[in-house]
């Protein structure tokens, strides 16, 4: 029931590219979310429990932003990463995020799967977007994106149609 109510709220508040005032988000919507053309480079992103539609979206994001180092947690991470995907039990999200924060670059992206599956998922998502290192969050209903660019001067939260 929670997921249904969350979906209704999402559809009511989600915006397209013309509902945003951020050049970064406009570019993301225009060149990633709405683009259905072939990718410049093929990626193979397999994250257990993540819907195929969102795995495909992650491939599009990686291709658009030229991400090379993509890790799905839980997993072994030794170097800095471009994209970190957190999926699974929401109770572990904060710990996984904090453990791997040192591996994120200014341009890195953290993807969180299933952010509205249950009330616990939504609550954990809200905790992550309130983290002091997060400069922008994007809610796509099935996944959430966390960005860390220092160029984003004020904290921004977007709910986008996908």
pLDDT tens by residue, 22-47: 888 888 998 899 888 877 777 778 78
Q: Over 90: is that where the pLDDT of 152 sits? A: no
Q: What is the mean pLDDT of the chain?
A: 86
pTM of the complete model:
0.87
* Interval 79-95 mean pLDDT: 89
Please count the structural domains in the chain. Answer: 1
DSSP-H helix ranges across 1-151: 2-13, 23-28, 52-64, 93-100, 119-129
Contact 60, 32 (CB under 8 A): yes
Token pair, residue 141, equals 């209903």
Q: Which domain holds residue 43?
A: 2-159
CB atoms within 10 A of CB 19: 15
Token pair, residue 114, equals 């299933």
């Amino acid at each position: 029931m929670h997921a249904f109510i969350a979906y209704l709220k999402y559809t009511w508040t989600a915006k397209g590219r013309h509902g945003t005032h951020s050049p970064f988000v406009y570019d993301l919507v225009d060149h990633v979310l709405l683009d259905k053309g072939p990718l410049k480079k093929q990626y193979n992103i397999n994250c257990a429990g993540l819907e195929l539609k969102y795995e495909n979206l992650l491939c599009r994001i990686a291709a658009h932003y030229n991400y090379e180092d993509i890790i799905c947690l839980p997993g072994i991470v030794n170097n800095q990463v471009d994209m970190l995907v957190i999926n699974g039990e929401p109770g572990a999200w904060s710990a996984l995020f904090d453990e791997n924060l040192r591996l994120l670059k200014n341009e890195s992206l953290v993807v969180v799967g299933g952010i509205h599956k249950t009330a616990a998922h939504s609550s954990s998502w809200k905790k992550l977007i309130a983290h002091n290192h997060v400069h922008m969050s994007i809610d796509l209903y099935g996944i959430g994106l966390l960005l860390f660019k220092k160029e984003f001067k004020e904290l921004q939260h977007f709910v986008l149609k996908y």
